[in-house]
């Protein structure tokens, strides 16, 4: 499978615990994006990387959230001290570097439930 | 005001008819516009991209862009039950609307 893969697909955690999601983009794609999606809403942008550089972060990305993309390959999104409001689908997408053009390829997402 | 606005629907269209989905955006300098389809429980997949004013056709899909009116639309001709999904309008790669639920009734 050469698509975007995300792990884990589902995560249930208790409030206050830390969680980490991993995203493996399509190998030749140098841009990687993270989004959060809740029921009935569109994806909300969190952050994106070009290679290993984190170029933009949304205001939604509070100090409890951190993302990395070491060596410009896979990326991780960590949420510290989870809150019930963090319950959502976390989507990763990748694309070639074509400025604002070009297609986003989404992974299947990581669903987080905070009890 | 939301940056990208869509009617949430549901929009119900008979099979074989034309489905018309609309989207308005607030940032006048936006240059790239996308329509994604999202089936329930699945991730979004790109249907159309459009970057200049006018129409762009791809099979049964036509995207229309009017930058002066800050309006982008998606027409689906000969609608099929498999077109039943949520359609997301996106401006650039990072600003998505809330989506319009489309239901094609046989």
pLDDT given at position A99: 66
- Residue among A41, A45, A106 whose CB faces B95 most closely: A45
CA B74 to chain CA mean position, Å? 5
Nearest CA distance, B14 vs chain A (angstrom): 23
Give the whole-angstrom CA distance, residue A4 versus residue B84: 24
* Nearest C-alpha in A relative to B52: A101
Give the whole-angstrom CA distance, residue B93 versus residue A91: 13
Please check whether residue A97 is in contact with residue A54, taking contact to mean a CB–CB distance below 8 angstroms: no
CA dihedral A64, A19, B39, B64 (to 10 degrees): 30
Instruction: Say whether A42 and B51 touch across the interface (CB within 8 A).
Output: no
Tens digits of per-residue pLDDT, A65-97?
999 999 889 999 999 999 999 999 999 999 987
pLDDT given at position A100: 64
pLDDT given at position A93: 96
- Residue among A40, A101, A109 whose CB faces B98 most closely: A40
Instruction: Say whether A103 and B46 touch across the interface (CB within 8 A).
Output: yes
* Nearest C-alpha in A relative to B30: A100
Give the mutation candidate from A100, A107, A109 for the B interface (greatest B CB count, under 10 A). A100
Residues of B whose CB is below 8 A from A98: none
Nearest CA distance, B24 vs chain A (angstrom): 15
Tens digits of per-residue pLDDT, B25-58?
998 888 899 999 999 999 999 999 999 999 999 9
pLDDT given at position A60: 76
Please check whether residue B59 is in contact with residue B78, taking contact to mean a CB–CB distance below 8 angstroms: no
pLDDT category at A98 given cuts 50, 70, 90 is: low
Give the whole-angstrom CA distance, residue A101 versus residue A87: 31
pLDDT category at A23 given cuts 50, 70, 90 is: very high
Tens digits of per-residue pLDDT, A47-65?
999 999 998 888 778 899 9
Tens digits of per-residue pLDDT, A25-38?
999 899 999 999 99
């Amino acid at each position: 499978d050469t698509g975007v893969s995300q792990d884990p697909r589902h995560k249930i955690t208790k409030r206050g615990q830390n969680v980490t999601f991993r995203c493996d983009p399509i190998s030749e794609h140098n841009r990687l994006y993270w989004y959060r999606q809740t029921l009935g809403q569109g994806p909300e942008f969190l952050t994106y990387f070009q290679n290993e550089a984190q170029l933009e972060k949304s205001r939604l990305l509070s100090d409890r959230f951190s993302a990395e993309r070491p060596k410009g390959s896979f990326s991780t999104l960590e949420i510290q001290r989870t809150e019930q409001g963090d319950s959502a689908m976390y989507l990763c997408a990748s694309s070639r570097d074509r400025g604002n053009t070009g297609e986003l390829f989404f992974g299947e997402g990581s669903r987080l439930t905070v009890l | 005001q939301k940056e990208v606005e869509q009617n949430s629907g549901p929009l119900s269209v008979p099979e074989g008819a034309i489905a018309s989905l609309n989207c308005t955006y607030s940032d006048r300098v936006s240059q790239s516009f996308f329509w994604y389809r999202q089936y329930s429980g699945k991730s979004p997949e790109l249907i159309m991209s459009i970057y200049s004013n006018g129409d762009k056709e791809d099979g049964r899909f036509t995207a229309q862009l009017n930058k002066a009116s800050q309006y982008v639309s998606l027409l689906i001709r000969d609608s099929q039950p498999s077109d039943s999904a949520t359609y997301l309008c996106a401006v650039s790669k990072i600003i998505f609307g809330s989506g319009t639920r489309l239901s094609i009734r046989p």
